[in-house]
Amino acid sequence: MSGKHESAHGHVSGRAIYTDEVKLPEGALRLHPVQAPHAHARIVSIDSRAAAAMAGVEMVLTAADIPGENDTGPILHDEPLIPAEYVLYHGQAVAWVVAQTEAQAQNAAAAVVVEYEPLDACLGIAAARAANAYHLPVATVARGDYESALSRAPLRLRGEIMIGGQDHFYLETHTSAAFVDSEGLVQVISSTQHPTETQIIVARVLGLPAARVVCRCLRMGGGFGGKETQANAFAALVALTAKLTCKPARIKLNRQLDMQLTGKRHPFFARFEVAFDAHGVLLALDAELYADGGYSCDLSPPVLMRAMVHIDNAYFIAAVRVRGWIAKTNLPSNTAFRGFGGPQGMLIGEEIIDRVARALKLPADLVRERNFYSEPDRNQTHYGQPVVDNHLRTLWDQLKASSQYSERRAAIGLHNQGSGQRKRGIAITPVKFGISFNKTEYNQAGALVLIYTDGSVQLNHGGTEMGQGLHSKMIVVAARVLGIDAKRIQIMTTATDKVPNTSATAASSGSDLNGQAIKAACETLLARLREPAAMLLEGAPEDVVFAADHVHLRHAPAARIGFTAVVKAAYSARISLAATGYYRTPGLHWDATLGQGHPFYYFAFGAAVSEVEVCGYTGMFELRRVDLLHDVGQSLLADIDRGQIEGGFVQGLGWLTCEELVTSAQGRLLTDAPSTYKIPTVCEVPEDFRVAFFERTEASSTQTIFSSKGVGEPPLMLGLSVREALRDAIAQFGHASEVALASPATPEAIIDAIERVRLK
Ligand code: MTE
Ligand code: MOS
């Protein structure tokens, strides 16, 4: 299918409305935080008298103002909305000033006097390991006798790696607005990926039943996982303000506050021991993963688990033990970020492959191929799910051919012989990514479809739009099932009073889940419309066909009538024109304690070839060419999917090469603005960028919506090819059997790696 993003015109003309631009009943109050200057401290006292007397100030919110539970934790209840006793990270808000303007709130925040008793802070994974400070007991996923496999194996190596975090850097920072309506209901408009959870947490904080809170989200200017849970606190703050003052309130964090107050991609530290044979075939793996959870648990357990079940990437390892810990640190609470731990797990897996290949002096691509999951006896993951519909080898071979991998490898070898300080490298890496929420209960969705008597349609579903094109795809689904023109369909703001009890739009399953729910609702409507259509067409209901915005009998396509005529007839015959739809993904089960089950409905596959040229003086590199081949199934909207593949890759590239979070010795984030935190821009996009969809011939064994596949996250991990290409180039500066490269591979890290290779 071709077509454009449903808001494309709005995006480029500026007419698309975001949360902060939604009109509220009257002028809204603004909030600004009073931030703690310590990463860990006891709050001795807060004196807000002077601030409260300042111009425009309505009130100063503290923990004492919360009528319900002072907690916004999505899994554990360990996340105070406003801390009463302890500051747990640098910059944490201990109070919020509410004023008529943002400037007034900010001025008054500086006048709030807070007395602290500073405490020792735990900053980072190393400190947490030393102090044994973890949020939860160790999690384990294991299969086979890794111990004896490791001790018997002739070839073994050990390693460790530290992986940096990543700021979401959505263009629209955290934003929420709230007012109390004439019925006393709390109406929340939030830039949230999870309106239902936002509703529940607002209700929790206000001490109200969920039925008295409505949460809406039309669209986000990006979420990337950063608004899966972390929007809840800001929504709760404006809802609390609206409830206490009886005036509308809104909050929009500036970039610096957004970066200081909210969690990021989890930094990880990993230690591993791997056994392999002389061909590079992996025999056993024992790995320890430490994720920096920050001060509260948030979504860290499922993020860690996804890392643990993606450490294999596309490779079969017979005997495995992976253990994982969530470090409890005095940092903002790290959270979901595109890939949800998968990228960190897969980076470790690729790190292991490269070290094995180098130790054996074998080409890394060959070692990758030798370890691929394959039928019949090397297809079972270490968590018990078989890898079926595995097209990776075909895809891989196609990409190798289309990118002329072997020829370019040879040419690069020649180039490097004659080049002093500019070395080139190339790498091909695979992606296998499980699609579905690990937590089985999240894999459900609902929809509400309303047909009006003029033949126009309102489409409500539980998913949120964050730029990924979900709304556009959902219009495609409804139009296809109803056989009508997409122009008839109006997509509605996602709202908890239209479709209740929804899941977060996440895990790349937004269109899989909501698409099926919409299909179910539309099929219900079609079944009802058949009767009146058959009457009009003078045929049998089962022969009625809805297509091309018209309705006809199977054997008489020419004698067609308009869709509107059928709708009108249905209304006259007193047939309901509204229907809900519901879907739950079949066949899933997962035991989080055992780390075993069948958590994913299917796997997404892709592969990438990247070529770089590295400068031995500066550590700067040029991304010369990138070829991506990705399996989107039957694309629902080709241009959107292409955008997801390109954007995902570039976001992965940023995480792996230029985005570096630096924290001071006191725990203050030093890189809290675009001036110090470098995200990739159009300048970093490869000059020669070739993106293709994998064309499948065989049918799939899973019934996805119109045979499409989730595409939101998997392409991010195609970026790993850049890291491996860099390593390939760095190796050319010496003769090392190991290339230790920090992540992110900034120019400093690259120079450092080159120096170490030169010394060997
Ligand atoms: N694309 C854009 N433009 N903006 C985003 O915020 N989020 C990503 C991905 N692509 C995101 C995006 C993440 S983290 C996920 S989980 C998926 O989109 C969610 O949407 P989907 O399930 O509809 O693919
Ligand atoms: Mo995406 S990290 O699952 O919101």
CA of 588 to the centre of ligand 2 (A): 19
What are the beta bridge partners of residue 181? none
| Strands lying side by side in the sheet with 556-562 | 544-547, 550-553, 556-562
Contacts of residue 552, defined as CB under 8 A and 6 or more positions apart, other chains included, come to 537, 544, 545, 558, 559, 560, 561
Atom of ligand 1 nearest to the CA of 337: 14
**Planar angle of CA 230, 11, 503, nearest 5 degrees:** 35
CA of 132 to the centre of ligand 1 (A): 35
Atom of ligand 2 nearest to the CA of 225: 4
Residues composing the chain: 760
Dihedrals φ, ψ of 130, to 5°? -65, -35
What average pLDDT does range 13-31 have in this prediction?
Answer: 91
Mutate to test the pocket of ligand 2, among 340, 511, 644, 716 (most ligand atoms within 8 A of CB): 340
Mutate to test the pocket of ligand 1, among 230, 264, 465, 468 (most ligand atoms within 8 A of CB): 468
pLDDT in tens, 431-462: 999 999 999 999 999 999 999 999 999 999 99
Ligand nearest to the CA of 470: 1
Which residue has better confidence, 193 or 23? 193
Ligand nearest to the CA of 463: 1
CA of 438 to the centre of ligand 2 (A): 12
Atom of ligand 2 nearest to the CA of 505: 4
713 is catalytic: yes
CA dist 181 and 328 (Å) reads 40
What is the reported pLDDT for 79? 98
SS in 3 state form for 167-197?
A: CCCCCCCCEEEEEECCCCCEEEEECCCCHHH
Q: Is the CB of 713 under 6 A from ligand 1?
A: yes
Contacts of residue 420, defined as CB under 8 A and 6 or more positions apart, other chains included, come to 616
CA dist 213 and 361 (Å) reads 62
What is the reported pLDDT for 9? 93
CA dist 727 and 749 (Å) reads 11
> Greatest CA span in the chain, whole angstroms?
86
The mean pLDDT value of the chain amounts to 97
CA of 417 to the centre of ligand 2 (A): 44
First to last CA, the chain: 54
User: Does position 160 have pLDDT exceeding 90, yes or no?
Assistant: yes
Residue closest via CA to ligand 2's atom 4 equals 225
CA of 440 to the centre of ligand 1 (A): 20
CA dist 301 and 309 (Å) reads 12
Q: SS3 of 726, please?
A: helix
Atom of ligand 1 nearest to the CA of 509: 22
CB 739: neighbour CB atoms within 10 A? 23
CA of 223 to the centre of ligand 1 (A): 7
15 burial via Cβ count (<10 Å: 0-12, 13-18, 19+): exposed
User: Does position 699 have pLDDT exceeding 80, yes or no?
Assistant: no
Instruction: Tell me the CA distances in angstroms from 323 to 124, 310, 345, 593, one per residue in order.
Output: 19, 13, 12, 12
Q: Is the CB of 506 under 6 A from ligand 1?
A: yes
CA of 339 to the centre of ligand 2 (A): 6
pTM for the model stands at 0.98
Q: Is the CB of 651 under 6 A from ligand 1?
A: no
Contacts of residue 159, defined as CB under 8 A and 6 or more positions apart, other chains included, come to 271, 272, 274, 351, 352, 355
Q: Is the CB of 507 under 6 A from ligand 1?
A: yes
Mutate to test the pocket of ligand 2, among 503, 713, 716, 717 (most ligand atoms within 8 A of CB): 713
CA of 508 to the centre of ligand 1 (A): 7
What sign has the CA pseudo-torsion 290, 292, 293, 294?
Answer: positive
Atom of ligand 2 nearest to the CA of 224: 4
Label the pairing between strands 41-47 and 113-118: antiparallel
CA of 590 to the centre of ligand 1 (A): 24
The type of residue at 395 is L
Axis-axis angle for helices 720-731, 342-360 (nearest 10): 30
Ligand nearest to the CA of 229: 2
DSSP string, 464-494: --SSS-HHHHHHHHHHHHHT--GGGEEEPPE
Instruction: Write down the H helix ranges in 179-276.
Output: 195-206, 231-245, 255-261
Ligand nearest to the CA of 264: 2
Contacts of residue 725, defined as CB under 8 A and 6 or more positions apart, other chains included, come to 425, 426, 427, 610, 611, 612
Mutate to test the pocket of ligand 2, among 338, 436, 437, 512 (most ligand atoms within 8 A of CB): 338
Label the pairing between strands 489-491 and 457-461: parallel
Residue closest via CA to ligand 1's atom 18 equals 712
What average pLDDT does range 405-429 have in this prediction?
Answer: 96
Q: 95-104, 691-700, 720-729 — which is least confidently predicted? A: 691-700
CA of 337 to the centre of ligand 1 (A): 10
pLDDT in tens, 26-66: 789 999 999 999 999 999 999 999 999 999 999 999 999 99
User: Does position 25 have pLDDT exceeding 80, yes or no?
Assistant: no
3-class SS shares of the chain: helix, strand, coil, % to 5: 35, 25, 40
Report residue 456 as tokens: 């126009």
User: Does position 414 have pLDDT exceeding 90, yes or no?
Assistant: yes
Q: Is the CB of 222 under 6 A from ligand 1?
A: yes
Contacts of residue 125, defined as CB under 8 A and 6 or more positions apart, other chains included, come to 162, 267, 268, 269, 290, 291, 292, 327, 329
Atom of ligand 1 nearest to the CA of 222: 6
pLDDT in tens, 560-610: 999 999 999 999 999 999 999 999 999 999 999 999 999 999 999 999 999
Closest-CA residue to 424 (of 55, 27, 726): 726
What are the beta bridge partners of residue 386? 380
Q: SS3 of 250, please?
A: strand
User: Does position 207 have pLDDT exceeding 70, yes or no?
Assistant: yes
Q: Which residue has the tokens 């519909």?
A: 389
Residues with CB under 6 A from ligand 2: 193, 225, 228, 336-338, 340, 506-507, 713
What is the reported pLDDT for 465? 98
What is the reported pLDDT for 696? 82
What is the reported pLDDT for 736? 83
Ligand nearest to the CA of 716: 1
DSSP state of 386: B
Dihedrals φ, ψ of 508, to 5°? 55, 15
Q: Is the CB of 342 under 6 A from ligand 1?
A: no
CA of 390 to the centre of ligand 1 (A): 24
CA dist 437 and 146 (Å) reads 28
The type of residue at 702 is T
pLDDT in tens, 124-150: 999 999 999 999 999 999 999 999 999
The type of residue at 450 is L
Report residue 398 as tokens: 């196609």
- For the stretch 541-577, what's the b/e string if a residue is b when 16 or more beta carbons lie within 10 angstroms of its beta carbon? eeebbbeebbbbbeeeeeebeebbbbbbbbeeeeeeb
Ligand nearest to the CA of 336: 2
DSSP string, 552-582: EETTEEEEEEEHHHHHHHHHHTT---EEEEE
pLDDT in tens, 305-355: 999 999 999 999 999 999 999 999 999 999 999 999 999 999 999 999 999
Atom of ligand 1 nearest to the CA of 340: 14
Q: Is the CB of 470 under 6 A from ligand 1?
A: yes
Model confidence at 659, in pLDDT bands (50, 70, 90)?
A: very high
Asked whether the beta carbons of 319 and 144 are under 8 A apart, the reply is: yes
Mutate to test the pocket of ligand 1, among 508, 585, 642, 718 (most ligand atoms within 8 A of CB): 508
DSSP string, 422-448: EEEEEEEEEEEEEES-SSGGG-EEEEE
CA dist 286 and 296 (Å) reads 28
Q: SS3 of 355, please?
A: helix
Report residue 111 as tokens: 């006048």
What is the reported pLDDT for 24? 85
CB 136: neighbour CB atoms within 10 A? 16
The one catalytic residue in 79, 228, 660, 713 is 713
Q: SS3 of 326, please?
A: strand
Atom of ligand 2 nearest to the CA of 507: 3
Closest-CA residue to 34 (of 102, 88, 91): 91
CA dist 714 and 339 (Å) reads 7
SS in 3 state form for 110-140?
A: HCCEEEEEECCCCCCHHHHHHHCCECCCCEE
Dihedrals φ, ψ of 41, to 5°? -165, 160
Closest-CA residue to 310 (of 725, 720, 757): 720
The type of residue at 616 is G
Model confidence at 2, in pLDDT bands (50, 70, 90)?
A: low
Atom of ligand 1 nearest to the CA of 469: 23
Count CA within 13 A, CB hemisphere, residue 455.
19
